A and B are shown apart, each in its own frame.
Chain A
Amino acid sequence: MRTTRTRARRAWQAAIGILTTVLVATACAGGAQSTDAGSAQEGGDLTFLIDSLGDTWIPNNSAISSFQGHIWGHVTDKLVYVDENGKTSPWIAQSWEQNADATEFTLRLREGVTFSDGTPLDAAAVVANLDMWSKGDATRGINPIGLFPKTYQAAQAVDPATVKVTFSSPTLGFIPTLGYHGSILISPKSLALPAEQQADLSNDIGSGPYVVESWKDDDVVVLRKRADYDWAPEALSHQGPARIDSITYKLVGEQQVRTSSVQSNQADIAYNPSPKELETFKAQGFSVAAPRYLGFVNGFAINTKVAPFDDVKVRQALQHGIDRDQILATVYTPDWLAAESFIQSNVPGATDHKAAFAHDSAKAEALLDEAGWAKGPDGVRTKNGTKLALTLYPNPYLATSKAVDELIAQQLRGIGFEVGIQAYDVVTYGQRVKVGGETVPAYEITRSFIDAGTVGGVLTDANKGENWFGLGQSDAKLTELATSIAGASDPALRDAQLDELQGYVLDQGYFVPITQIVQRLYLQSPRVHDVTYNGIAYANYYTAWIGDPT
């Protein structure tokens, strides 16, 4: 049923796309390009068209990492701010100290900050939030925040403006994590409410530059600016109350209706336009933002327990057999960047290891020859009667994944792999395709993180790690590097280890990068200026202003 619907949808999208382009192109023929020159103006209302408003509004359970994060980003503040280059700077926490082994942190809070229900955002409120992020509340059905450091022990309010946080082992990632999706500060009064009441967005009170004026499930959220807001991150270009009076997040499921609404000046922002149309929009004078998040690049974690990927030469052949430039040119637009490592290049500590996975089919074929895989008459390599086979499982959470996998399959067939593609819907995928699964030789990764310490925690099974490559702790060098990065207390030393780890993982063919990933795309009217994007690629309209219609 899903495929029929998708096919039908594609058919009409194509038909309507042509019509839209003709009609709107004529309307915008004059070109709508404006310059960012001119001073910021106060007031105005912004309309943001979004393709989903998530499921529940219980802050911890909501889709903080996708759609609802847009709203939380305006309604709430965080303890620290992380910019698009991964740089951490003060926000509600004005400063912080840590002990030598990074197990104890002291946060000094900005004074005079209040939630919009009047409750002070003081040490007690921060402790209540830290506890909720870490543990959730199983008796009320409130989830913990998945990526909050599992080493968290306790937080304590030393005085109204000081919080002491302790961990069971070194946790350098703690401070950056405070700027991550899930670390949104909510009024303790809201946190104390039962789940059913937290699910009503109007009850979830934050301290951010906007407050919820009204909302309707699966339809619309209207935010109004808070006049007494005066605690923006120092790193932002603007301070004091926001400039734009109201922001309306309106759910419009159909991509064409979203983009055409912006093109015909009925709305200001369309979220997730089709990547294929980005160049057209730019030519018409609209701006397109494709900010990258901090995290892993899109790529495959190779399961070394599945033959023949237990052989380093086969993994390396895979590494060199993929033509990533062709993928960028065919599936994506110039807004997508080539991978330089297995973590995105804007992550602090990411280093350039392009050579380890440069496309070289001759080298890949030589490696396979060396490993004993001989090419048969049909072009497929065999060894002792076994075919060189690989099954790819496109990631259902990433729209372009299937197209990318098809291209990779084609490329790998050229060097003698027999490649199958098995696409599943989200539910089936969740059940059958697991990292390290017996039938999953290559698990497709797309995951954001805000601190490179995360990398150390997922590669092996040390400290309940996710064991991405199925190695357990059998690779002594990997285990040592990963464990010391996860438990590092000295940032400089950690950066050196991280560099070594990136080189090692790529050389060994454990992680096969595809491209750097852009998960959030924004089509924007030229009347909107000075939008800021943070480390998790969310658009922040706190700094923005609306200029004269063009």
Chain B
Amino acid sequence: MSGYGGFALRRAGQAVVVVLLTYVFTFWVISVLPGDPVTTTLRNPQNGFTEEEIARIVSYYGLDRPVLVQLWESLSRFVTGDLGVSLRSNRSVADMIGEVLPSTLVLAAASLTIAVVLSFAIAFGVHYLPRPFSTALRSVPSLFLSVPGFLVGLLLIQVFSFGLGLFRAIDTDGPVATFFAALTLGIWVSAQIAEVLIANLDHEAAQEYAGVARSRGLGRLRMLLKHLLKPSSLPVVTVLALMIGEVLGGAVITEAVFGRTGIGNLVERSVASQDLPVLQAVVTLAAVVFVVVNLLADLVYPLLDPRVTLQARPEVGANA
């Protein structure tokens, strides 16, 4: 038990360090880039500001101070839980993230559900359907991966919104529009899960125990559900854990095509305008999500495969 406690503590400590390093690293990366959102906006010739006025405004935001001073302030704010104020919108970063998070979570949940259903359907099809169909299905994941998401999204909008009028393309948070946005993202995610799942099912089906089961006259479907699926799902959990991170932060294109707000869209705009406080907050949030999701994946492993136990890990640590 103490071994596990030490392991958990170390893991948590590592996580905190990772998150803090992410925060500092983001700051450093953005700081070495030329320009800042305030001057970029002010320098638009349409605004007609004098250099003197620009200097005064930049100094209000503290952007003329040494980078280390800015980093120290930002870091000391962060450890007290204050994410600061956006340089672009002048609103509290926490508010901005809170506003777009629900939309992202809905899209992520819906697209992962669609992806899991689709990928299992594809994998089952590959193993269960007669030959010509199963061979065709085998190439579906590659097809899904190679068709760009924006094309899928635009085609879906074109056909189902502009063509058939099933939903208003601009009514972005409606259930139908959300479904099609999730489908766009889900198709891409399903391909990655399906590839892993098919490969593992192939592998498991070639094992001796499967041969034995088959020789005892076990039906294909029963065989799949009862014997092959569980060991084959293990790597799927890893892929799924990685995908959660992807769909939470990486849905930029889907969001743009469907006109949705979300974390991806927020990141894109913040990168374009070098909005440091928002970027730091979002990247840190992403780091937290990755750390937590990966930890959860580790915890789910032993439930799916009794051969994996947490006890094995502290021993590795002890040896080192």
Indicate whether A and B interact: yes
Verify A146–B88 contact, CB threshold 8 A: no
Interface: A445 (CB within 8 A): yes
Verify B35–A216 contact, CB threshold 8 A: no
Verify A251–B259 contact, CB threshold 8 A: yes
Give Cα A65 to B45, complex, Å. 11
Interface: A446 (CB within 8 A): yes
Verify A218–B269 contact, CB threshold 8 A: yes
Set B53, B148, B256, B261: member contacting A254, Cβ < 8 A: B256
Interface: B120 (CB within 8 A): no
Q: What residues of chain B lie closer than 8 Å to A19, measured between beta carbons?
A: 155, 158
Verify A216–B40 contact, CB threshold 8 A: no
Contact A23-B154, Cβ < 8 Å, known A49-B170, A427-B40: no
Verify A431–B259 contact, CB threshold 8 A: no
Say what secondary structure dominates the interface of chain A. mixed
Verify A55–B257 contact, CB threshold 8 A: no
Verify A55–B259 contact, CB threshold 8 A: no
Q: Which stretch, B11-19, B161-169, B234-242, touches the partner chain A?
A: B161-169
Say what secondary structure dominates the interface of chain B. helix
**Size bin of chain B's contact surface:** 35 or more
Verify B89–A56 contact, CB threshold 8 A: yes
Give Cα A19 to B158, complex, Å. 8
Verify B259–A252 contact, CB threshold 8 A: yes
Separation in Å of the A5 CB from the closest CB of chain B?
10
**Number of A-B residue pairs at CB separation under 8 A:** 144
Verify A216–B99 contact, CB threshold 8 A: yes
Verify A257–B259 contact, CB threshold 8 A: yes
Verify B57–A12 contact, CB threshold 8 A: no
Set A8, A217, A254, A435: member contacting B99, Cβ < 8 A: A217
Query: What residue in chain B is nearest A147 (Cβ atoms)?
Result: B48
Which of A19, A253, A448, A464 has most chain B Cβ within 10 Å?
A253
Interface: A235 (CB within 8 A): no
Verify B35–A138 contact, CB threshold 8 A: no
Interface: B72 (CB within 8 A): no
Set A20, A56, A218, A446: member contacting B158, Cβ < 8 A: A20
Q: What residues of chain B lie closer than 8 Å to A250, measured between beta carbons?
A: 170, 259
Can you show 9 pairs from A to B with CB atoms below 8 A apart? A16-B154, A196-B91, A199-B90, A218-B265, A252-B170, A257-B154, A266-B161, A397-B44, A431-B35
Tell me the B residues contacting A by CB distance below 8 Å: 34-35, 37, 39-50, 53, 56-57, 60-61, 85, 88-92, 96, 99-100, 148, 150-151, 154-155, 157-158, 161-163, 165, 168-170, 172, 256-257, 259, 261, 265-266, 269, 273-274
The 9 closest A-B pairs by CB, nearest first: A146-B48, A199-B90, A427-B35, A430-B43, A146-B47, A147-B48, A264-B162, A252-B259, A55-B88
Tell me the A residues contacting B by CB distance below 8 Å: 8, 12, 15-16, 19-20, 23-24, 27, 47, 49, 55-58, 61, 63, 65-66, 138-139, 141, 143-144, 146-147, 150, 195-196, 198-200, 216-219, 250-254, 256-257, 260-261, 263-264, 266-267, 397, 426-428, 430-431, 435, 445-448, 464
